[in-house]
Amino acid sequence: MKASCVMTPTPAPLKDEILRASSALFSERGYHGTSVRDIAERVGLQGGSLYAHIAGKEELLFDIVNRAADQFFAAIKPIVASERDAMQKLRQAIIAHVEVVAGDVEAAAVYTVEWRHLSADQKKAVTARRDEYEKQFRKLISDAIQERYVTATDPAGATLFILSSLNYVFTWYRPRPGGKSPAEVGKMLSDYIFEGLKRRAAVS
């Protein structure tokens, strides 16, 4: 049933559609709860014909996770490289991160939850990318502490606090007419993270 090699290149829109369908199914039913037949059905192909376009289910998981990682890196790259001060950079990175998560909650769910079903080698490659991304994020936080914009005695804890509140967005955010946009959710979280919830005398 499995083609030994892909003979003709798959048109990009079809590949995108296959990955979108796989993201939706993996996030809904779990990686192991989804079959190649399920994916084929979702894109209107026979299971056998789908194998002309993909090497297997695992490759799809790897592609989804890597595309999500690409998006996270691309989102913060211009911010990291910019000349803004550390606090502005950190705020903008938070909003950019949430825009990626909320912009495609299904891919974010796969990136966050289903990635653990990758093969050992693929997992190693993905872990290296996740670590590199977190390192860049931690650097923004350390710079903001260094420049005395941010008060945190524990940068590692602060990083976990920030990324936790951002990453969990995939579980509750769904775009809907009249609702908050991904950027607005990012702005809201950024405000809460920096201002805190406690009312201060000066505020009232």
- Cβ neighbours around 162 below 10 Å, total: 23
CB of residue 3 to a copy of itself, shortest distance in Å: 25
Give residue 106's identity as a one-letter amino acid code. E
Report the distance separating Cα 175 and Cα 78, nearest Å: 26
CB of residue 78 to a copy of itself, shortest distance in Å: 23
Q: Are 43 and 21 in contact (CB under 8 A)?
A: yes
Nearer to a copy of itself, 4 or 153 (CB): 153
Q: How far is CA 19 from the centre of its chain?
A: 15
CB of residue 128 to a copy of itself, shortest distance in Å: 17
Give residue 115's identity as a one-letter amino acid code. W
Give the tokens for residue 96. Answer: 């950019």
Please report, as ranges, the residues that interact with a copy of itself according to CB under 8 A.
28-33, 87, 112-114, 116-117, 144, 148-152, 154, 157-158, 160-169, 171-172, 188-189, 192-200, 203-204
Report the distance separating Cα 70 and Cα 81, nearest Å: 16
CB of residue 67 to a copy of itself, shortest distance in Å: 21
Nearer to a copy of itself, 8 or 204 (CB): 204
